[in-house]
Amino acid sequence: MTQAKRAAGAGRPKTRLATAALFLMLTAISFSSTTTAAAIKDSLLTRAQVGASVLPAEIAPVKAPFKMPVFKKPAFPALRLSIAEKGARQNELSTKEIQATIDEVNRRGGGTAIIPKGTWKTGRISLKSNVNLHIEEGAEVYFSGEVEDYRPAVFTRNEGVEVMSMGALIYANGQQNIALTGKGRLIGPPDGSVRKQVMKSDVIENIINANTPVSERVYEGHNGSPILLPMFISPINCKNVYIEGVSLERTAFWNIVPVYCDGVIIRGVTVHSVGVPRGDGIDIESSRNVLIEYCTLACGDDCFTIKAGRGEDGLRVNKPTENVVVRYCLAREGHGGITCGSETAGMIRNLYVHDCVFDDTGVGIRFKTRRGRAGGGENLYYERIRMNLKATALNWDMLGSKMYVGELATRLPAREADRLTPLYRNISIRNILVENTTQFLKINGIPESPLKNLLVENAEVNCDKLIIARDAAGIQIRNSTIRSKDGEIEVLDGRNILFDKVKFVVPGDKLSTKIEGPLSKNIRFNNCSPAKPADWKATSMKQ
């Protein structure tokens, strides 16, 4: 039985029993034949085979371990109208002329609004239904650095909290069948009031009271007052969104951010935001039925990111991100290759990442949340990923730091679980090659909400350090070879951990363990090499 057949239609388990049953179903695989290192390497794509430079003309069918729609390129009426016909002039601020072109195409029933080859300047642009904004090859669109060019405030979401603010450089709200295409360059704001007036005082949930009506959460920057930075491209409440081919540079904040959208295709996009704090590449926020393919991202923060709202405000909205496929993409630089969180309130579920390359990123596969953020992630699948990393390969950071969440980052004492307690569970990672990493696996769970049900299978890993598992339950590492400069496995309140057919290549061919915490139990080594840690008999953690 294939993984897709086993997992198709899996929803959120409503009980602990259902959760355990689902994980057993996902991991009911025959291990009679061992996947060799050569077979794993041969099954993976290389850097030259993924990313924007190899974008195919058509969208191939999507196969996932859950039900996905059929993705097709959008069709637009024959009408084509250039911004030059509306009076736009190169090297002059042409916001009104560009918007007038989009508005007329929309008013006439749809078609293509064209930004032709040349150098253009603009403030905020709002996409409209049935319009393809096409940035021709050779076109360079420079966005203003002044706050006044992004007023009035519009409804949007900033770091998982609903606000009235600058929105995005390219914005849409409540539109259908919209597109941004072409091989042109989009260049974000230079130094100016946009960057100078950024809110710096605190994390957003401490700035905006969750009980304040959204209509009163207005940040427009009048008289030099603080603003929330605009994203680069962010449709909100839209259906059938298509983004293809464009390149983005010098963003002020997150780059491509669909919010509350249904039916999103992002393909062949190139992003460069290295050096930009919070310069995420693609962030999917509380959206569903999403395909991301053949994109190349080099970012100042996380590259491909999945989010679902923050804390109390995210729970009020309660919209998940679900049914997302990321394939044939290249992450060249960034804090994380693919990251879930840290905004997770509405739940992240049904994510499938496959046939990607993370080359020179920090963390490879990253999971973040915090006490008080709520929600979490479940039914997350990763397959056939090649990684060359500066930091950890597989990382769960569920506590965060005191700088952002205060004492909630302190592991103990355990708190009573409530509606704001997040979780991660039911995660499958298969057929991965980690060419270089500082640490293979690092789990920092939450004592009252440990990471649950993780399967890592068919992994070829070269690392400096092995494994840290704190507050985790139901961890399986199977059929893998891990080459490490250090032979220690650290467990703190970890239970039901299985190493099955794992070859550890460590100094002196000796594993060691550091096992602590009253909840640590049932840690097993089955058909491994070495068979067991050298100190295993001396520990209280027997089979």
The 10s digit of each residue's pLDDT in 34-43 is 566 778 888 8
8 Å CB contact between 463 and 440: yes
* Of residues 7, 218, 33, 245, the one with CA closest to residue 132: 245
Least confident among 45-49, 110-114, 533-537: 533-537
Query: Using 50, 70 and 90 to split pLDDT, how confident is the model at 3?
Result: very low
pLDDT, one tens digit per residue, over 373-423 is 999 999 999 999 999 999 999 999 999 999 889 999 999 999 999 999 999
Q: What string of DSSP letters covers 38-90?
A: HHHHHHSPPGGGSSGGG--SSPPPP--SS--PPP------S-EEEGGGGT--T
pLDDT for residue 40:
82
In which element (H, E) is residue 22 found? helix 16-26
Looking at residue 203, its pLDDT comes to 85
Q: How confident is the model at residue 541 (pLDDT cuts 50, 70, 90)?
A: low
Q: Which among 151, 306, 163 is positioned nearest to 223, based on CA atoms?
A: 151
Q: What's the mean per-residue pLDDT of the chain?
A: 92
CB 477 within 8 A of CB 502: yes
Query: Tokens standing for 335?
Result: 């804090």
Prior bond of 213 cis (ω within 30°): no
pLDDT at 403: 86
Given the structure tokens 């080594």, which residue do they identify?
525
Closest CA to 227 of 208, 254, 200, 205: 200
Question: What percent of the chain clears pLDDT 90, i.e. is strictly above it?
Answer: 88
Helix (H) or strand (E) segment spanning residue 37: helix 37-43
Answer yes or no: is pLDDT of 2 > 70. Answer: no
Distance from CA of residue 417 to its chain's centroid?
26
368 CB neighbour count, 10 Å cutoff:
26
Q: What pLDDT is stored for residue 72 in this prediction?
A: 97
| 461 neighbors 482 (Cβ within 8 angstroms) | yes
Buried b (16+ CB within 10 A) or exposed e, 294-319: bbbbbbbbbbbbbbbbbbbbbbebeb
* pLDDT above 50: residue 138: yes
Q: Report the run of H or E that residue 246 belongs to, with start and end.
A: none
Residue 20 predicted with pLDDT over 80: no
28 or 56, which is more confident = 56
Which tens digits make up the pLDDT trace of 311-367?
999 999 999 999 999 999 999 999 999 999 999 999 999 999 999 999 999 999 999
pLDDT score recorded for residue 271: 98
DSSP string, 379-418: EEEEEEEEEEESSEEEEEE-S--HHHHGGGGS--SPPPP-
State how far the Cα of 328 lies from the Cα of 294, in Å rounded to an integer. Answer: 5
Please give the residue that has the higher pLDDT: either 479 or 203: 479
